[in-house]
Amino acid sequence: MFSRRHSRNATLAFRLHMTGVSLGNSRDQLNKKLQERIKSMRGIKMGIAAAALAFAATSAQAADITIKFSHVVAENTPKGKMANKFAELVHERLGDRVEVEVYPNSQLFGDNKVLEAMALGDVQLAAPSLSKFGKYTSKLQVFDLPFLFKDMKAVEKFQQGPKGQELLHSMEDKGFIGLGYLHNGMKQLSASQPLIEPADADGLKFRIMSSDVLAAQFEAVQAVPLKKPFSEVFTLLQTKAIDGQENTWSNIYSKKFFEVQDHITESNHGVLDYLVVTSADFWNGLPDDVRPVVKKSLDEAIAYGNKISMEKAEADKKAIAESGRTTIHELTDEQRAAWVESMKPVWKQFEGDIGKDLIDAAVASNG
């Protein structure tokens, strides 16, 4: 865990010990004890002690904003680096008032649990893949449509355009606020055998994120999609419980999928990006002088993550190629066209759920 924790609790306990108040379990208990103590004080001496106690209580409250940021990937990825940068910036700007605790590698919550945990207040910030919000909105599934975006520039254009910005608010009725998009990159296909023609995927089991669109994408080439958490992918591949998966270069590299997959096809068939999300209760409850500073820090951390995502994709692809552990296949235009033709009917299948307006806007971003 990356943390800027200072011994604030110990300091507070010491202060209270010096004033004869023991540290209770909750702030309510603490405040109650403080008030009782203040009430029982008499005279000037007691006035000074009361002021000290009030100061201690104020400091305790101000220092008590903790933002737990939970994610599932390694620290050496665009998301891992962005999260750590955010923690650093918040610490620089807000000191002990706000502490960001970053939990990478599914240490705190896996992808299937993090949004439930957020609704319960157990985590304040997360950046799940856009494919993992299907339970809360069907709109974000636009990002899963195969061969929709021609490259990351088109993805960025769509995300920053009016429709993309509208989508940040698509789950407010469920209590979640989208604070920004973070890039990872384009997805590649990996398998235990070469995937050159769509027919090569026939009958193979692929791990997918929890998205019905991704399920339909693999069904379109007669493959068998299995929705599984990210934390299980390596073991599923290693034990050959599944034959393949789709992911970005940085995830394939940092989680060592390339060591247990003999073949990777550079298909660039879809995008894997993130929505940085928080709960409306938490966000709206932040003090008015804190919220803009947290948002500014987040925007800067996202810009940093987005900047390095392209460089990481290139560097990690190169490292995988140089490892000699797997074969990377490039597709000819004709081979790629065959995958497009097989998978593109999925757009029509989900047009009703996603909305034609969103699909059209995404297509327009390729221009």
Among the listed residues 84, 124, 159, 184, the single contact to ligand SIN using CB under 6 A = 184
Position 73 contacts ligand SIN (CB under 6 A): yes
* Buried b or exposed e, range 77-92, using 16+ CB within 10 angstroms: bbbbbbbbbbbbbbbe
Number of residues this chain uses to bind ligand SIN (CB under 6 A): 10
State which residue, 21 or 271, has the beta carbon closest to ligand SIN. 271
- Most distant CA atoms of the chain, gap in Å: 90
Smallest distance, ligand SIN to C-beta of residue 5, A: 25
Position 209 contacts ligand SIN (CB under 6 A): yes
Q: Are 328 and 320 in contact (CB under 8 A)?
A: yes
Smallest distance, ligand SIN to C-beta of residue 319, A: 18
Smallest distance, ligand SIN to C-beta of residue 133, A: 12
State which residue, 94 or 155, has the beta carbon closest to ligand SIN. 155
Q: In this chain, which residue has its C-beta nearest to ligand SIN?
A: 230
Position 251 contacts ligand SIN (CB under 6 A): yes
Q: Count of alpha carbons within 13 Å of 236, Cβ hemisphere only? A: 17
Pairing verdict, β 65-70 and 125-126: parallel
Return the residues of window 2-41 that contact ligand SIN according to CB under 6 A.
none
Position 72 contacts ligand SIN (CB under 6 A): yes
State which residue, 30 or 252, has the beta carbon closest to ligand SIN. 252
Smallest distance, ligand SIN to C-beta of residue 132, A: 7
State which residue, 97 or 178, has the beta carbon closest to ligand SIN. 178
Smallest distance, ligand SIN to C-beta of residue 244, A: 13
State which residue, 164 or 305, has the beta carbon closest to ligand SIN. 305
Position 247 contacts ligand SIN (CB under 6 A): yes
Position 342 contacts ligand SIN (CB under 6 A): no
Q: Give Cα separations from 210 to 11, 109, 122, 144, 275 (angstroms).
A: 45, 15, 22, 11, 15
Pairing verdict, β 98-103 and 176-186: unpaired
Position 129 contacts ligand SIN (CB under 6 A): yes
Binding residues for ligand SIN (CB under 6 A): 72-73, 111, 129, 184, 209, 230, 247, 251, 272
